[in-house]
Protein backbone atom coordinates (compact mmCIF):
# COMPACT_ATOMS: atom_id res chain seq x y z
CA UNK A 1 0.00 0.00 0.00
CA UNK A 2 1.38 3.38 -0.95
CA UNK A 3 1.21 5.86 1.90
CA UNK A 4 3.77 8.64 2.10
CA UNK A 5 3.55 11.43 4.65
CA UNK A 6 5.91 13.79 2.85
CA UNK A 7 4.76 17.10 1.43
CA UNK A 8 6.86 16.36 -1.64
CA UNK A 9 5.57 13.87 -4.17
CA UNK A 10 7.56 10.68 -4.69
CA UNK A 11 5.21 8.83 -6.96
CA UNK A 12 6.05 8.92 -10.63
CA UNK A 13 9.71 9.74 -10.82
CA UNK A 14 9.28 13.41 -9.88
CA UNK A 15 10.20 15.25 -6.72
CA UNK A 16 8.98 18.80 -6.56
CA UNK A 17 7.88 21.20 -3.86
CA UNK A 18 4.26 21.36 -4.83
CA UNK A 19 3.41 24.55 -2.99
CA UNK A 20 5.82 26.67 -4.99
CA UNK A 21 5.08 25.44 -8.49
CA UNK A 22 1.75 25.41 -10.28
CA UNK A 23 2.70 22.37 -12.35
CA UNK A 24 2.72 20.24 -9.29
CA UNK A 25 1.03 16.89 -9.77
CA UNK A 26 3.01 14.24 -11.65
CA UNK A 27 1.37 12.82 -14.71
CA UNK A 28 0.15 9.31 -14.07
CA UNK A 29 -0.97 7.49 -17.16
CA UNK A 30 -1.27 3.83 -18.01
CA UNK A 31 -2.44 1.02 -15.79
CA UNK A 32 -1.46 1.40 -12.14
CA UNK A 33 -0.88 -2.28 -11.55
CA UNK A 34 1.21 -3.10 -14.66
CA UNK A 35 -1.74 -4.87 -16.19
CA UNK A 36 -5.40 -4.75 -15.25
CA UNK A 37 -6.34 -6.95 -12.38
CA UNK A 38 -8.59 -9.89 -13.21
CA UNK A 39 -9.21 -10.72 -9.59
CA UNK A 40 -12.53 -9.18 -8.61
CA UNK A 41 -13.02 -10.70 -5.18
CA UNK A 42 -13.70 -8.63 -2.11
CA UNK A 43 -10.14 -8.67 -0.81
CA UNK A 44 -8.72 -7.39 -4.07
CA UNK A 45 -11.36 -4.69 -4.32
CA UNK A 46 -10.52 -3.56 -0.82
CA UNK A 47 -6.82 -3.41 -1.63
CA UNK A 48 -7.61 -1.42 -4.75
CA UNK A 49 -9.74 1.02 -2.76
CA UNK A 50 -7.00 1.44 -0.17
CA UNK A 51 -4.39 2.00 -2.86
CA UNK A 52 -6.27 4.91 -4.39
CA UNK A 53 -7.33 6.30 -1.01
CA UNK A 54 -3.66 6.29 0.01
CA UNK A 55 -2.98 8.46 -3.02
CA UNK A 56 -5.72 10.83 -1.84
CA UNK A 57 -4.07 11.10 1.57
CA UNK A 58 -0.66 11.66 0.00
CA UNK A 59 -2.02 14.47 -2.14
CA UNK A 60 -3.93 16.03 0.75
CA UNK A 61 -0.77 16.45 2.85
CA UNK A 62 0.58 18.82 0.21
CA UNK A 63 -1.85 21.43 1.53
CA UNK A 64 -0.41 21.37 5.06
CA UNK A 65 -0.02 24.91 6.34
CA UNK A 66 -1.93 26.46 3.44
CA UNK A 67 -5.58 25.47 3.78
CA UNK A 68 -6.48 26.06 7.46
CA UNK A 69 -9.09 26.53 8.79
CA UNK A 70 -10.30 24.20 6.03
CA UNK A 71 -9.35 20.51 6.13
CA UNK A 72 -6.66 18.94 3.95
CA UNK A 73 -8.33 16.92 1.21
CA UNK A 74 -7.10 14.90 -1.76
CA UNK A 75 -9.09 13.34 -4.61
CA UNK A 76 -8.39 11.02 -7.55
CA UNK A 77 -10.58 10.03 -10.48
CA UNK A 78 -10.12 6.44 -11.62
CA UNK A 79 -11.34 4.71 -14.78
CA UNK A 80 -10.74 0.96 -15.05
CA UNK A 81 -7.69 1.05 -12.81
CA UNK A 82 -6.16 4.16 -14.36
CA UNK A 83 -5.95 7.55 -12.68
CA UNK A 84 -7.29 10.07 -15.19
CA UNK A 85 -7.39 13.04 -12.79
CA UNK A 86 -6.21 14.04 -9.34
CA UNK A 87 -6.06 17.12 -7.17
CA UNK A 88 -5.91 18.48 -3.66
CA UNK A 89 -7.05 21.57 -1.79
CA UNK A 90 -4.08 23.86 -2.24
CA UNK A 91 -4.91 27.19 -0.61
CA UNK A 92 -7.70 28.36 1.71
CA UNK A 93 -10.38 30.17 -0.24
CA UNK A 94 -9.46 28.56 -3.53
CA UNK A 95 -10.78 25.49 -5.34
CA UNK A 96 -11.30 22.30 -3.33
CA UNK A 97 -9.75 18.93 -4.10
CA UNK A 98 -12.68 17.62 -6.13
CA UNK A 99 -12.67 20.69 -8.39
CA UNK A 100 -8.93 20.47 -9.01
CA UNK A 101 -9.27 16.75 -9.64
CA UNK A 102 -11.92 17.15 -12.34
CA UNK A 103 -10.10 20.11 -13.90
CA UNK A 104 -6.90 18.05 -14.20
CA UNK A 105 -8.50 15.50 -16.56
CA UNK A 106 -7.00 15.80 -20.05
CA UNK A 107 -9.23 16.55 -22.99
CA UNK A 108 -8.71 13.08 -24.38
CA UNK A 109 -10.08 11.53 -21.18
CA UNK A 110 -12.99 13.90 -20.55
CA UNK A 111 -15.49 11.43 -22.04
CA UNK A 112 -14.47 8.89 -19.37
CA UNK A 113 -15.45 11.07 -16.40
CA UNK A 114 -19.08 9.86 -16.06
CA UNK A 115 -17.89 6.24 -16.04
CA UNK A 116 -15.11 6.88 -13.52
CA UNK A 117 -14.96 6.45 -9.75
CA UNK A 118 -13.91 9.39 -7.61
CA UNK A 119 -11.91 8.67 -4.47
CA UNK A 120 -11.83 11.49 -1.93
CA UNK A 121 -10.33 11.49 1.56
CA UNK A 122 -13.16 13.52 3.16
CA UNK A 123 -16.86 13.78 2.49
CA UNK A 124 -17.52 16.37 -0.25
CA UNK A 125 -18.85 19.65 1.12
CA UNK A 126 -22.53 20.48 0.78
CA UNK A 127 -22.58 24.19 1.60
CA UNK A 128 -21.70 27.46 -0.04
CA UNK A 129 -18.63 29.01 1.56
CA UNK A 130 -15.86 30.65 -0.40
CA UNK A 131 -16.55 28.08 -3.12
CA UNK A 132 -19.70 26.21 -4.30
CA UNK A 133 -20.56 22.74 -2.90
CA UNK A 134 -18.33 19.97 -4.23
CA UNK A 135 -21.16 17.44 -3.96
CA UNK A 136 -23.07 19.45 -6.58
CA UNK A 137 -20.05 19.42 -8.87
CA UNK A 138 -19.82 15.62 -8.70
CA UNK A 139 -23.51 15.33 -9.59
CA UNK A 140 -23.20 17.79 -12.48
CA UNK A 141 -20.24 15.80 -13.88
CA UNK A 142 -22.44 12.65 -13.76
CA UNK A 143 -19.76 10.69 -11.89
CA UNK A 144 -21.38 7.36 -11.09
CA UNK A 145 -19.48 6.27 -7.97
CA UNK A 146 -17.73 8.04 -5.08
CA UNK A 147 -15.54 6.37 -2.46
CA UNK A 148 -15.06 8.45 0.70
CA UNK A 149 -12.40 8.03 3.37
CA UNK A 150 -14.30 9.54 6.30
CA UNK A 151 -17.42 11.56 7.01
CA UNK A 152 -17.04 15.28 7.71
CA UNK A 153 -18.35 16.01 11.22
CA UNK A 154 -18.39 19.78 10.62
CA UNK A 155 -22.02 20.79 11.16
CA UNK A 156 -22.36 22.43 7.73
CA UNK A 157 -21.57 19.08 6.11
CA UNK A 158 -22.04 16.12 8.51
CA UNK A 159 -23.56 13.66 6.03
CA UNK A 160 -25.26 16.28 3.86
CA UNK A 161 -22.74 15.82 1.07
CA UNK A 162 -23.37 12.09 1.03
CA UNK A 163 -27.13 12.68 0.95
CA UNK A 164 -26.84 14.97 -2.08
CA UNK A 165 -24.87 12.31 -3.93
CA UNK A 166 -27.17 9.44 -3.01
CA UNK A 167 -30.32 11.40 -3.85
CA UNK A 168 -28.84 12.00 -7.29
CA UNK A 169 -28.31 8.27 -7.81
CA UNK A 170 -24.57 8.24 -7.15
CA UNK A 171 -23.21 5.07 -5.53
CA UNK A 172 -21.40 6.07 -2.34
CA UNK A 173 -19.05 3.94 -0.28
CA UNK A 174 -17.43 5.18 2.93
CA UNK A 175 -14.89 4.10 5.54
CA UNK A 176 -11.89 3.33 3.32
CA UNK A 177 -8.78 3.98 5.44
CA UNK A 178 -11.10 5.86 7.75
CA UNK A 179 -8.66 6.05 10.69
CA UNK A 180 -5.89 7.37 8.45
CA UNK A 181 -8.20 9.94 6.89
CA UNK A 182 -9.32 11.19 10.29
CA UNK A 183 -5.71 11.33 11.51
CA UNK A 184 -4.83 13.41 8.45
CA UNK A 185 -7.26 16.08 9.67
CA UNK A 186 -6.85 15.71 13.41
CA UNK A 187 -6.57 19.51 13.66
CA UNK A 188 -9.82 20.06 11.80
CA UNK A 189 -11.77 17.45 13.75
CA UNK A 190 -10.43 18.62 17.12
CA UNK A 191 -11.33 22.20 16.26
CA UNK A 192 -14.95 21.34 15.45
CA UNK A 193 -15.59 18.48 17.86
CA UNK A 194 -13.81 19.89 20.94
CA UNK A 195 -14.28 23.58 20.15
CA UNK A 196 -10.61 24.44 20.56
CA UNK A 197 -7.41 24.38 18.52
CA UNK A 198 -5.35 21.23 18.11
CA UNK A 199 -2.50 21.67 20.60
CA UNK A 200 1.06 20.48 19.94
CA UNK A 201 3.70 20.72 22.67
CA UNK A 202 7.31 20.99 21.56
CA UNK A 203 10.63 21.17 23.36
CA UNK A 204 14.25 20.05 23.11
CA UNK A 205 16.01 18.31 25.99
CA UNK A 206 19.51 17.00 26.59
CA UNK A 207 20.46 13.39 27.30
CA UNK A 208 20.03 14.02 31.03
CA UNK A 209 16.50 15.41 30.61
CA UNK A 210 17.19 19.13 31.02
CA UNK A 211 15.82 21.80 28.69
CA UNK A 212 18.08 24.63 29.81
CA UNK A 213 20.19 26.06 32.61
CA UNK A 214 18.71 26.80 36.02
CA UNK A 215 19.14 30.54 35.50
CA UNK A 216 17.16 30.42 32.29
CA UNK A 217 19.95 31.09 29.82
CA UNK A 218 19.53 29.62 26.35
CA UNK A 219 21.56 26.51 25.52
CA UNK A 220 21.70 25.00 22.04
CA UNK A 221 20.50 21.41 22.42
CA UNK A 222 19.23 20.39 18.98
CA UNK A 223 21.30 20.35 15.81
CA UNK A 224 20.81 22.43 12.66
CA UNK A 225 18.78 19.72 10.94
CA UNK A 226 16.32 19.52 13.82
CA UNK A 227 16.10 23.31 13.73
CA UNK A 228 14.99 23.13 10.10
CA UNK A 229 12.42 20.50 10.98
CA UNK A 230 11.03 22.76 13.70
CA UNK A 231 10.65 25.59 11.20
CA UNK A 232 8.79 23.22 8.90
CA UNK A 233 6.47 22.45 11.82
CA UNK A 234 5.95 26.16 12.31
CA UNK A 235 4.95 26.57 8.67
CA UNK A 236 2.27 23.89 9.07
CA UNK A 237 0.49 25.29 12.14
CA UNK A 238 -1.83 28.27 12.48
CA UNK A 239 -0.24 29.66 15.64
CA UNK A 240 2.85 29.41 17.84
CA UNK A 241 2.67 30.14 21.57
CA UNK A 242 5.19 31.00 24.30
CA UNK A 243 5.05 32.30 27.84
CA UNK A 244 6.48 35.58 29.03
CA UNK A 245 9.69 34.11 30.51
CA UNK A 246 10.68 32.57 27.19
CA UNK A 247 9.72 35.77 25.38
CA UNK A 248 11.89 37.88 27.71
CA UNK A 249 14.91 35.58 28.12
CA UNK A 250 15.20 34.25 24.55
CA UNK A 251 13.85 37.26 22.62
CA UNK A 252 12.52 34.84 19.95
CA UNK A 253 11.24 35.79 16.51
CA UNK A 254 8.82 32.82 16.38
CA UNK A 255 8.80 32.91 12.60
CA UNK A 256 9.67 30.49 9.82
CA UNK A 257 13.14 31.29 8.48
CA UNK A 258 14.51 27.84 7.63
CA UNK A 259 11.68 26.35 5.58
CA UNK A 260 9.36 27.39 2.76
CA UNK A 261 5.87 28.56 3.60
CA UNK A 262 4.11 31.01 5.83
CA UNK A 263 4.82 32.36 9.30
CA UNK A 264 2.44 31.31 12.09
CA UNK A 265 0.44 33.72 14.21
CA UNK A 266 2.55 34.60 17.27
CA UNK A 267 0.74 34.18 20.60
CA UNK A 268 2.36 35.44 23.80
CA UNK A 269 1.02 34.90 27.32
CA UNK A 270 2.28 37.99 29.13
CA UNK A 271 -0.07 38.66 32.09
CA UNK A 272 2.36 41.01 33.83
CA UNK A 273 3.51 43.05 30.83
CA UNK A 274 7.08 41.79 31.06
CA UNK A 275 8.00 41.65 27.37
CA UNK A 276 9.93 44.82 26.41
CA UNK A 277 8.73 46.79 23.40
CA UNK A 278 12.28 46.51 22.01
CA UNK A 279 11.99 42.72 21.57
CA UNK A 280 11.44 40.97 18.24
CA UNK A 281 7.84 40.18 19.09
CA UNK A 282 7.09 43.88 18.58
CA UNK A 283 8.90 44.17 15.26
CA UNK A 284 5.67 44.26 13.23
CA UNK A 285 6.89 41.51 10.89
CA UNK A 286 3.93 39.21 11.48
CA UNK A 287 0.60 39.08 13.24
CA UNK A 288 1.02 38.79 17.01
CA UNK A 289 -1.45 38.34 19.88
CA UNK A 290 -0.44 39.34 23.41
CA UNK A 291 -2.57 38.01 26.27
CA UNK A 292 -2.02 40.38 29.17
CA UNK A 293 -3.33 41.01 32.65
CA UNK A 294 -4.60 44.13 34.32
CA UNK A 295 -3.79 44.92 37.91
CA UNK A 296 -3.08 47.96 40.03
CA UNK A 297 0.62 47.42 39.37
CA UNK A 298 0.19 46.83 35.65
CA UNK A 299 -2.56 49.12 34.37
CA UNK A 300 -4.04 48.60 30.95
CA UNK A 301 -2.20 50.81 28.46
CA UNK A 302 -4.00 53.28 26.30
CA UNK A 303 -5.47 51.84 23.13
CA UNK A 304 -2.81 53.33 20.88
CA UNK A 305 -0.14 51.54 22.91
CA UNK A 306 -1.69 48.12 22.55
CA UNK A 307 -1.06 47.25 18.96
CA UNK A 308 -0.23 48.49 15.52
CA UNK A 309 -1.21 46.90 12.21
CA UNK A 310 0.28 43.55 13.15
CA UNK A 311 -0.17 43.27 16.91
CA UNK A 312 -3.33 42.77 18.89
CA UNK A 313 -3.57 42.69 22.66
CA UNK A 314 -6.10 40.79 24.70
CA UNK A 315 -6.48 41.87 28.30
CA UNK A 316 -6.73 39.27 31.05
CA UNK A 317 -9.00 40.61 33.76
CA UNK A 318 -8.68 39.13 37.22
CA UNK A 319 -11.77 37.84 39.03
CA UNK A 320 -10.94 38.85 42.59
CA UNK A 321 -12.43 41.47 44.86
CA UNK A 322 -9.67 43.84 43.86
CA UNK A 323 -10.16 43.23 40.15
CA UNK A 324 -13.81 42.37 39.53
CA UNK A 325 -15.02 41.14 36.19
CA UNK A 326 -16.91 43.94 34.43
CA UNK A 327 -20.43 43.60 33.17
CA UNK A 328 -20.99 41.51 30.07
CA UNK A 329 -21.33 44.51 27.75
CA UNK A 330 -17.89 45.70 28.87
CA UNK A 331 -16.07 42.44 28.26
CA UNK A 332 -15.32 42.36 24.57
CA UNK A 333 -14.13 44.75 21.95
CA UNK A 334 -11.48 44.38 19.29
CA UNK A 335 -8.63 44.28 21.79
CA UNK A 336 -10.01 42.83 25.02
CA UNK A 337 -11.15 39.48 26.34
CA UNK A 338 -11.91 38.39 29.88
CA UNK A 339 -10.16 35.41 31.47
CA UNK A 340 -10.15 33.92 34.94
CA UNK A 341 -6.81 33.30 36.63
CA UNK A 342 -8.33 30.68 38.95
CA UNK A 343 -7.13 27.69 36.93
CA UNK A 344 -9.25 28.10 33.84
CA UNK A 345 -7.34 30.72 31.90
CA UNK A 346 -5.80 28.30 29.38
CA UNK A 347 -9.20 26.84 28.55
CA UNK A 348 -10.59 30.33 28.06
CA UNK A 349 -7.57 31.33 25.98
CA UNK A 350 -8.12 28.32 23.72
CA UNK A 351 -11.77 29.28 23.44
CA UNK A 352 -10.76 32.75 22.30
CA UNK A 353 -8.43 31.29 19.69
CA UNK A 354 -11.23 28.99 18.54
CA UNK A 355 -13.50 31.99 18.12
CA UNK A 356 -10.84 33.51 15.89
CA UNK A 357 -10.60 30.29 13.83
CA UNK A 358 -7.07 29.37 14.88
CA UNK A 359 -7.07 25.69 13.95
CA UNK A 360 -3.84 24.62 15.68
CA UNK A 361 -1.23 25.91 18.13
CA UNK A 362 2.41 24.88 18.53
CA UNK A 363 3.42 25.51 22.16
CA UNK A 364 7.19 26.07 22.30
CA UNK A 365 7.72 26.95 25.93
CA UNK A 366 8.96 27.63 28.36
CA UNK A 367 8.84 24.88 30.94
CA UNK A 368 6.19 26.54 33.13
CA UNK A 369 3.91 27.16 30.15
CA UNK A 370 4.35 23.61 28.84
CA UNK A 371 3.65 22.15 32.29
CA UNK A 372 0.53 24.29 32.59
CA UNK A 373 -0.88 22.77 29.40
CA UNK A 374 0.05 19.26 30.57
CA UNK A 375 -1.55 19.75 34.00
CA UNK A 376 -4.70 21.10 32.39
CA UNK A 377 -4.86 18.12 30.01
CA UNK A 378 -4.81 20.58 27.12
CA UNK A 379 -2.62 18.88 24.57
CA UNK A 380 -3.08 16.46 21.70
CA UNK A 381 0.45 15.82 20.48
CA UNK A 382 3.97 16.31 21.83
CA UNK A 383 7.16 16.53 19.80
CA UNK A 384 10.32 16.11 21.85
CA UNK A 385 13.80 16.53 20.43
CA UNK A 386 16.51 14.77 22.42
CA UNK A 387 19.88 16.26 21.56
CA UNK A 388 23.25 14.58 21.78
CA UNK A 389 24.67 16.85 24.49
CA UNK A 390 24.47 16.31 28.25
CA UNK A 391 24.07 19.23 30.64
CA UNK A 392 25.50 18.74 34.16
CA UNK A 393 22.31 20.17 35.64
CA UNK A 394 19.57 22.61 34.84
CA UNK A 395 15.86 23.04 34.34
CA UNK A 396 14.07 19.66 34.11
CA UNK A 397 12.05 18.97 31.01
CA UNK A 398 8.26 18.63 31.38
CA UNK A 399 6.85 15.16 32.07
CA UNK A 400 3.96 14.04 29.89
CA UNK A 401 0.89 12.36 31.36
CA UNK A 402 -1.30 9.82 29.56
CA UNK A 403 1.08 9.79 26.61
CA UNK A 404 1.45 7.15 23.92
CA UNK A 405 4.58 7.16 21.80
CA UNK A 406 3.86 7.18 18.08
CA UNK A 407 7.30 7.32 16.54
CA UNK A 408 11.02 7.76 17.21
CA UNK A 409 13.19 9.09 14.40
CA UNK A 410 16.98 9.58 14.50
CA UNK A 411 18.21 12.79 12.87
CA UNK A 412 22.01 12.99 12.61
CA UNK A 413 22.66 12.72 16.34
CA UNK A 414 19.30 13.99 17.56
CA UNK A 415 16.23 11.84 18.17
CA UNK A 416 12.69 13.05 17.45
CA UNK A 417 9.93 11.54 19.60
CA UNK A 418 6.26 12.00 18.72
CA UNK A 419 3.61 11.33 21.37
CA UNK A 420 -0.17 11.46 21.29
CA UNK A 421 -2.31 12.04 24.35
CA UNK A 422 -4.38 9.01 25.29
CA UNK A 423 -8.01 9.91 25.74
Q: Where in the sequence numbering do the catalytic residues fall?
A: 98
Measuring CA to CA, which residue among 341, 349, 218 is closest to residue 272?
341
In whole angstroms, what is the distance from residue 124 CA to residue 118 CA? 11
In whole angstroms, what is the distance from residue 13 CA to residue 69 CA? 32
Q: Give 367-418 as a 3 state SS string.
A: HHHHHHHHHCCCCCEEEEEECCCCCCCCEECCCCCCEEEEEEEEECCEEEEE
- The count of other CB atoms within 10 Å of the CB of residue 324 is 10
DSSP 156: T
- Residue 326 phi, psi dihedral angles, 5° rounding: -70, 170
Give the helix/strand (H/E) hosting 118. Answer: strand 117-122
277 exposed, middle or buried (CB, 10 Å; 0-12, 13-18, 19+)? exposed
Give the helix/strand (H/E) hosting 214. Answer: none
Sequence length of the chain is 423
Whole-number Cα distances in Å, 49 to 1, 248, 327:
10, 52, 57
Amino acid sequence: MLFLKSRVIFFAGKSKDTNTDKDVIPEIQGDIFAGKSKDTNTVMNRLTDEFFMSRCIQLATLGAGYVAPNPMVGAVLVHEGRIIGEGYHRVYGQAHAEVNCVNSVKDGDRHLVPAATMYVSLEPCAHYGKTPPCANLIVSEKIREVVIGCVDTFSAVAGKGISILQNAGVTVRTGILEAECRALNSRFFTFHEQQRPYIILKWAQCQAGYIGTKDGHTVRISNQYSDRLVHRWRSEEAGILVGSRTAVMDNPRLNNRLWTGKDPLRIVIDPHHRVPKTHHLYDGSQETFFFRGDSQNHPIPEADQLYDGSQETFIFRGDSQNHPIPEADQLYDDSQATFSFNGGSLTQLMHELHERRILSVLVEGGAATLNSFIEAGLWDEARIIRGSITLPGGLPAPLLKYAKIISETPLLGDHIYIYHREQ
